[in-house]
Amino acid sequence: MNVLGLTFEKREQSSRLWQLLMVLLAIIFALVLSGLLIFLSGADVGKAFAGLYGGAFGTRKALIETLVKATPLILTGLAAVIAFRGKVMNIGAEGQFLAGAMAGYWAILTFSWMSPFFYFSMILFFAFIGGAICGLIPGLLKGLLKVDETIVTVMMNYVVEFVLSFLLSGPWQAAGKFYKFSEEIPTSAHYGLVFPNTRLHYGFIVALVTTIIVYWILQKTRLGYEIRSIGLNPAASKFKGINVPRTIITIMLISGGIAGLGGIGEVIGIQHRMRMDISNGAGFTGIIIAMLAGLNPLAVVIVAIFMGGLLNGSNRMQIFSNVPTALVYAMQAIVLLSLLAFQVLAKYRIRRAAGNE
């Protein structure tokens, strides 16, 4: 028993370290594989990685742009964290992102007569609500009807996308334009800039604040306690009086809302209009980020910045070495897959050692 105890304790003490190690291993493995892909395509691997790094973190300007790219990812990452902590497989952040953007855009159109403070509050409020409602539907289906949320949330992504497409081809379409985007939003609805002459907007601050709030909720509140409890052991939670369905619904509301904030951020911070492509896969990237961050909200910021760096640096990589920017999406997926694999391999070793009783 002592040997067993020792083995387990080791794992517990180094679990943070171990987790980090697995993530690093996964990233290294992904870099190696990507390098291989680049090499196979005939491009210069060195130049590609140099471009990638330089474009991501090389200059102050690059770093700031990386933060810009990271902003929506932090929020979708947080959305995934809150859901996954409760073992709710919310794959619908993509749709909730758009739904929040749409609801926020509607608020932009509707409340433009308000004073700036209230105007902005309305915009953010409705963006949250929009994302939350989008999350509510799968939440209700799971909580009350026990319908699995995985596919429902994915289906919602498409539905929301088509609704947006409909709106941007009709009522919201910029007058006289052929493409699917809206008129520009009034400057009073723009996010202010953190640094002048950059693209870093207050959405980044909102993302950081949301990070603290999500951390707070999970670690410091009764709700977060219950979320963690049902995520780790729904049976015991039920035995001790936690209302599992209600908690699930709450999770989906919050998760959707946070994703919605990410959506509106792109509208009022970057695009300054409503378009089809404001997300760029942010919802799915958020899931990868959450997994890499070990479902830790604070780590989400770091991982999101890393991902933002990948996205940002990919442009320079393409310029320097002709490697298409799309590679970074493949890299993200490879990191996730390798992380899953390495986590299992690590567990397996420890279990083997513990099994020698």
Of 200 and 230, the one with the shorter C-beta distance to another protein is 230
Of 58 and 281, the one with the shorter C-beta distance to another protein is 281
Among 66, 229, 279, 321, binds another protein (CB under 8 A): 229
Q: Does 97 bind another protein (CB under 8 A)?
A: no
Stretch touching another protein by CB under 8 A, among 57-65, 128-136, 145-153, 247-255? 145-153
Q: Does 228 bind another protein (CB under 8 A)?
A: yes
Among 145, 187, 196, 197, binds another protein (CB under 8 A): 145
Token code pair at residue 177: 């334009």
Stretch touching another protein by CB under 8 A, among 98-106, 107-115, 233-241, 258-266? 233-241
**Percentages (nearest 5) of helix, strand, coil residues in the chain:** 80, 5, 20
Of 202 and 318, the one with the shorter C-beta distance to another protein is 318
Q: Does 337 bind another protein (CB under 8 A)?
A: yes
Give me the phi and psi of 183, to 5 degrees please.
-65, 160
DSSP letter assigned to residue 173: S
Q: Does 237 bind another protein (CB under 8 A)?
A: yes
Q: Does 305 bind another protein (CB under 8 A)?
A: no
- Closest CB 342 distance from another protein, rounded Å: 10
Q: Does 225 bind another protein (CB under 8 A)?
A: yes
Q: From CA 206, how far away is CA 198, in angstroms rounded?
A: 17
Q: Does 350 bind another protein (CB under 8 A)?
A: no
Beta strand residue intervals within 157-250, DSSP E: 181-184
- Closest CB 61 distance from another protein, rounded Å: 26
CA 107 to chain CA mean position, Å: 23
Q: From CA 246, how far away is CA 193, in angstroms rounded?
A: 39
Q: From CA 131, how far away is CA 279, in angstroms rounded?
A: 13
What is the enclosing helix (H) or strand (E) of 262? helix 244-266
Q: Does 333 bind another protein (CB under 8 A)?
A: yes
- Closest CB 115 distance from another protein, rounded Å: 29
- Do residues 233 and 87 make contact, with C-beta atoms less than 8 angstroms apart? no
Q: Does 21 bind another protein (CB under 8 A)?
A: no
What is the enclosing helix (H) or strand (E) of 274? strand 273-275
Closest CA to 276 of 128, 156, 138, 172: 172
Q: Does 284 bind another protein (CB under 8 A)?
A: yes
- Do residues 186 and 107 make contact, with C-beta atoms less than 8 angstroms apart? no
What three-state secondary structure class fits 304?
helix
- Closest CB 15 distance from another protein, rounded Å: 9
- Closest CB 111 distance from another protein, rounded Å: 26
Angle at 65 between CA 207 and CA 298, to 5 degrees: 35
Q: Does 221 bind another protein (CB under 8 A)?
A: yes
Q: From CA 348, how far away is CA 11, in angstroms rounded?
A: 12
Site string for another protein, 125-144 (x = CB under 8 A): ----------------x---
Q: Which residues contact 31 (CB under 8 A, 6 or more apart)?
A: 49, 331
Closest CA to 185 of 129, 126, 123: 123
Residues 23-82, interacting with another protein (CB under 8 A):
37, 41-43
Of 77 and 269, the one with the shorter C-beta distance to another protein is 77
Of 112 and 150, the one with the shorter C-beta distance to another protein is 150
Stretch touching another protein by CB under 8 A, among 97-105, 259-267, 295-303, 342-350? 342-350
Of 12 and 184, the one with the shorter C-beta distance to another protein is 12
